[in-house]
Every structure is written in C-alpha cells, then in structure tokens.
Amino acid sequence: LPPYEVLPAEVSMEELPRSTTVLLEDPPVPPRDHLVWSIFTTLYGNFCCLGLLALVFSVKSRDRKVLGDYSGARSYGSTAKYLNITAWVINIIIVIIVVTVIALITAGVLSSMNN
C-alpha cells in the first residue's frame, strides 16, 4: 500500500491547505578522539608502540568525526582510549619496578660498604 491516500477526483490540490512541518533536532554530540592524550602517550609512554597505535586510532577517529560518521569515530576513539590507558598502566608498573630495583641495588651496595 502507498504511504498516502489517493485524492478523490473532485478534489484539486489548490483547494487543500498548505503547511510545512520542520523537525528540529539537537545535533549529536561529537565523540572524543583523545588525540592530545595519544600524542603525550606516544612521546612519553610508548611501551611496545601502544602510544603510536593510540595515535593512529585517534587520527582515524578524528577523520571519521570530520566525515560525520559518529559511530565509527566513537569506536576508534574508544580503542585509542583503552590503548592509552594500557600504555600508561604498563609504564607506571615499569617505573615502579625500576625504582625498586635501583633502591635494592643501592641498599645492597651501601650494606656491603659498611661490612
């Protein structure tokens, strides 16, 4: 069935009232691409190239956002976010391990000098 009603033959279009309906919607909120965070992760916390991968996904997210593909931008942005988080957690663990090893070595050297 057609989505409209067929006008009877005796009714003309000029006799009908004319109206226009305009639907106003708020524009969707653009998703975050985490580009700045990915740049800092690439420069300062690039463990196993996770920062570089985050940067690549952030750029892809920004490209999708410019094209208006918000679902693709959201997906790439989410991936960049999780890569950034993973890189920073691994870097914090590495810093803790390095500081602990240096402290233990320093304590061992100082104790051997006292004996």
Residue 3 forms part of a structural domain: no
Tens digit of pLDDT at every position of the chain (115 positions): 567 777 777 777 777 777 777 788 888 888 999 999 999 999 988 878 899 999 999 999 999 999 999 999 999 999 999 999 999 999 999 999 999 999 999 998 878 877 6
Q: What one-character-per-residue DSSP string does 42-101 give? A: HHH--GGGHHHHHHHHHHHHHHHHHHT-HHHHHHHHHHHHHHHHHHHHHHHHHHHHHHHH
CA-angle at 49, arms to 59 and 61, nearest 5°: 15
Q: What is the model's pLDDT at position 72? A: 95
Residue 63 forms part of a structural domain: yes
Residue 88 forms part of a structural domain: yes
First to last CA, the chain: 99
Range of the domain at 99: 49-114
| Chain position carrying tokens 């069935």 | 1
Structure tokens at 3: 């989505």
- Spatial distance between the Cα atoms of 90 and 96, rounded to a whole number of angstroms: 10
Residue 9 forms part of a structural domain: no
Residue 95 forms part of a structural domain: yes
What pTM value is reported for the model? 0.70
Q: Which amino acid, residue 69?
A: D
Question: What's the structural domain count of the chain?
Answer: 1
Residue 93 forms part of a structural domain: yes
Are 33 and 76 in contact by the 8 Å Cβ rule? The answer is yes
